[in-house]
């Protein structure tokens, strides 16, 4: 009997688990290790923040999915890998042995070099972010019922697609004054400048204050509020600060001895297999294809799900894994929080449009439905 361990409940693993439930592997014990019982679906999270989806609608029930796949679910957090003895070291559970291991644990915003980072709310891990967001909404509700005239001010650090979408959805939900800081001269890092300029116009039309070419180097907090401090000398006072900058990997990944890229993400080939340990696979934000990287975006994790399942099946049956080549460009559907969405692909941008939101909503609900109707 072989042990196939799936570490993390990310999008790729959710898809692979469903397929493994439909097509069980012979003589394989399947184990899922996750620190959460419900896995958030990134495509619907902005809509949830805007109040358009419930918690249940945008989360995958991993216990139900594990039962369907006949997998043992270990509810714990991995803290290390013992690659010599092929063990996943967990925070509380005994070490978990594996013959084959797949890692899909996502990433977190990079805050380790920022003084006062503990005063900000990173958007990942998502469960803690959503808890803080719900608490903030309750605070706003109390303020609106009182005699106070001014709503809290929100600071968002990071003007990539995630930060831009977060600013739009938070503004639509709360009507709070929002300050968005971005270290580059244009928003939407990874897209052509024209796309960034168009989003800048949209944010300004919505009353969101942009601070471009501003690198945040510190956060402070006093009795009345918090403040963002930039290299330029700019200081922005805020009541809540949300951190949506470039992703980073946990230190234990690189410290385990597995091959990584310069940023600490697991280095894989096109078969989604580790460059240094052929019995380990990795997908989603935690992995980078050597010499052919893709953005850290949920759409790529979703598309890796079926190829991951196919290659896990092949290796456990003694066959060679097959390569998977994702497309260079992808269609991004970005919600604006007000029942509209924008479509972006390459240099083309369409919207904001209600019809695009209806299309995006149908795509996302179809994706989630496969984990409900098991």
Instruction: Give which of 104, 108, 126, 120 is closest to 249, Cα–Cα.
Output: 108
State the DSSP code for 44: T
Q: What is the pLDDT of residue 47?
A: 96
Q: What is the pLDDT of residue 143?
A: 87
Query: Tokens at residue 268, please?
Result: 């894989």
Residue 183 contacts residue 214 (beta carbons within 8 Å) = yes
Same domain, 241 and 124: yes
| DSSP symbols for 82-133 | ETTTTEEEESSSPPEE-SEEEE----EE--TTSBTGGGSEES-SHHHHHHHH
Q: What is the pLDDT of residue 279?
A: 97
- Quote the CA–CA distance of 73 and 69 in Å, as a whole number: 10
Is 47 domain-assigned? yes
State the DSSP code for 284: G
Same domain, 186 and 234: yes
Is 146 domain-assigned? yes
Residue 241 maps to which CATH number? 3.50.50.60
Residues of the chain with pLDDT under 70: 112, 147-149
Q: What is the pLDDT of residue 147?
A: 64
Q: What is the pLDDT of residue 32?
A: 98
Is 300 domain-assigned? yes
Which of 223, 245, 267 corresponds to the end of one domain? 245
Q: What is the pLDDT of residue 148?
A: 64
Same domain, 140 and 170: yes
Q: How many domains does the chain divide into?
A: 2
- Quote the CA–CA distance of 330 and 20 in Å, as a whole number: 27
Which of 219, 245, 271 corresponds to the end of one domain? 245
What residues make up the domain containing 159?
Answer: 117-245
Is 213 domain-assigned? yes
Same domain, 293 and 210: no
């Amino acid at each position: 009997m072989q042990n196939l361990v799936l570490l993390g409940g990310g999008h790729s693993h959710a898809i692979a688990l469903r397929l493994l439930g439909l097509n069980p592997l012979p003589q394989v014990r399947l184990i899922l290790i996750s620190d959460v019982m419900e896995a958030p679906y990134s495509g619907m999270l902005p809509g949830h923040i805007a109040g358009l989806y419930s918690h249940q609608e945008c989360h995958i029930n991993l216990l139900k999915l594990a039962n369907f796949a006949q997998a043992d679910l270990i509810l714990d957090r991995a803290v290390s890998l013992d690659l010599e003895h092929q063990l996943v070291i967990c925070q509380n559970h005994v070490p978990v042995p594996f013959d084959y291991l797949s890692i899909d644990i996502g990433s977190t915003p990079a805050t380790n070099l920022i003084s006062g980072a503990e005063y900000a709310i990173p958007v990942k891990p998502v469960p803690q972010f959503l808890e803080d967001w719900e608490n903030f909404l309750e605070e706003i509700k109390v303020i609106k019922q009182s005699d106070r005239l001014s709503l809290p001010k929100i600071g968002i650090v990071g003007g990539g697609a995630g930060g831009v979408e977060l600013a739009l959805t938070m503004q639509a939900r709360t009507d709070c004054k929002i300050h968005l800081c971005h270290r580059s001269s244009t928003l939407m890092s990874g897209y052509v400048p024209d796309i960034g300029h168009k989003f800048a116009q949209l944010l300004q039309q919505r009353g969101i204050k942009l601070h471009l070419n501003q690198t945040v180097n510190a956060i402070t907090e006093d009795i009345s509020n918090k403040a963002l401090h930039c290299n330029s000398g700019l200081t922005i006072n805020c009541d809540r600060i949300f951190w949506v900058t470039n992703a980073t990997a946990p230190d234990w990944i690189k410290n385990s001895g597995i091959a990584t890229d310069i940023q600490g993400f697991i280095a894989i080939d096109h078969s989604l297999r580790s460059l240094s340990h052929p019995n380990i696979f990795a997908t989603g934000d935690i992995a980078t294809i050597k010499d052919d990287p893709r953005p850290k975006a949920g759409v790529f994790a979703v598309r890796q799900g079926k190829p991951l399942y196919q290659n896990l099946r092949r290796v456990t049956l003694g066959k060679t894994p097959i390569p998977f080549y994702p497309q260079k460009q992808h269609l991004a559907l970005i919600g604006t929080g007000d029942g509209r969405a924008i479509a972006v692909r390459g240099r083309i941008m369409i919207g904001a449009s209600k019809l695009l939101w209806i299309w995006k909503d149908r795509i996302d609900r179809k994706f989630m439905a496969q984990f409900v109707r098991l």
